[in-house]
């Protein structure tokens, strides 16, 4: 029978506390990411998290050709999962003064997902608080589980098959 080691037990307790604090920080960080609707209404990112549904947040800009090229994939992804498990939410970081340009790009691309608009420095700072890593650019994806916890993140183009496998493995 293994011997109880007070130091080892204390270390495990400290590590567990740090892990739980990190999870709480992740949830709190999502509540601090602020943006606006295309009508100019101030909102928080977590206002769009539906209990029990996954939320894929795509951070994009109107001048990002990779972002624009992924709108169809995002629409198909949301349509395939709309009935049960996944919402797609865009966050354009062109700045709130560019709401009209963002709305025009969404209409031109026939985007079928809702999008917010935010200031690039504020969204980047929120990303860093949330992930503990610097924001690298667009497109960037954040996947939140049904409890609003950050489950995955990706910089660069979306691999739909990879995301589908992730959802299959992690969604109840």
Number of other residues whose CB lies within 10 A of the CB of residue 128: 13
Nearest to 59 by CA among 40, 33, 84: 33
Q: Give the model's pLDDT for residue 167.
A: 81
- Structural domain spans, the chain: 6-170
Q: Give the model's pLDDT for residue 30.
A: 62
Give the domain 6-170 fold. Glutaredoxin (3.40.30)
Walk along the chain (172 residues) and give the pLDDT tens digit of each residue: 433 334 444 433 333 333 334 443 444 556 679 999 999 999 999 899 888 889 999 999 999 999 999 999 998 888 888 776 889 999 999 999 999 999 999 999 999 899 999 999 999 999 999 999 999 999 999 999 988 999 999 999 998 888 888 888 876 5
Instruction: State pLDDT tens for residues 156-172.
Output: 999 888 888 888 887 65
């Amino acid at each position: 029978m293994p011997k109880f080691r007070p130091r080892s037990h204390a270390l495990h307790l400290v590590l567990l506390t740090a892990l739980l604090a990190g999870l709480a920080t992740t949830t709190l960080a999502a509540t601090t990411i602020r943006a606006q609707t295309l009508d100019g209404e101030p909102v928080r990112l977590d206002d769009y998290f539906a209990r029990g549904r996954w939320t894929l947040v795509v951070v994009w800009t109107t001048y990002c050709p990779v972002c624009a090229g992924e709108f169809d994939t995002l629409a198909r992804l949301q349509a395939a999962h709309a009935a049960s498990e996944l919402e797609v939410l865009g966050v354009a970081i062109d700045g709130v003064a560019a709401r009209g340009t963002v709305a025009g790009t969404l209409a031109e691309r026939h985007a079928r997902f809702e999008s917010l608009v935010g200031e690039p420095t504020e969204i980047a700072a929120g990303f860093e608080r949330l992930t503990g890593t610097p924001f690298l650019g667009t497109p960037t994806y954040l996947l939140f589980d049904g409890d609003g916890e950050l489950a995955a993140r990706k910089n660069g183009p979306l691999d739909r098959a990879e995301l589908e496998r992730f959802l299959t493995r992690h969604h109840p």
